[in-house]
Amino acid sequence: MTKLSKDKAFLREIAKDLNIPTSTAAYHLKRLTQVGLINERRGVYHVWFDLTDKGRQLLNSEAA
C-alpha cells in the first residue's frame, strides 16, 4: 500500500500491485472504508482511494 500512503490509488492499481482479483481488493477496501482508515472517491469512470487522517496515523505508527 505504499502508493496509497503517498497519493490516491485506483482500485485496479491496488489489485494489480497486490496481485489479487479486483473483486477481492474491492471487498477489503470497502471494509477499510467502513472502519475509517481510507476514503473512497467516485468519479464518472473510476473509483479511487486515499488514506484518512486515522489511516495515516496508523501507517506512521507502524513504520516507526
Give the model's confidence band at 60: pLDDT under 50 very low, under 70 low, under 90 confident, else very high.
confident
**Type of residue found at 31:** R
What does the angle CA 19 – CA 53 – CA 15 come to, to the nearest 5 degrees?
10
pLDDT tens per residue, range 11-39: 899 999 999 999 999 999 999 999 999 99
Q: What percent of the chain has pLDDT over 90?
A: 56
CB 48 within 8 A of CB 2: no
Q: Is the pLDDT of residue 40 over 70?
A: yes
Mean pLDDT of the chain: 89
Domains of the chain (ranges; CATH) run: 2-63 (1.10.10.10)
Instruction: Say whether pTM exceeds 0.95.
Output: no
**What is the pLDDT at residue 31?**
97
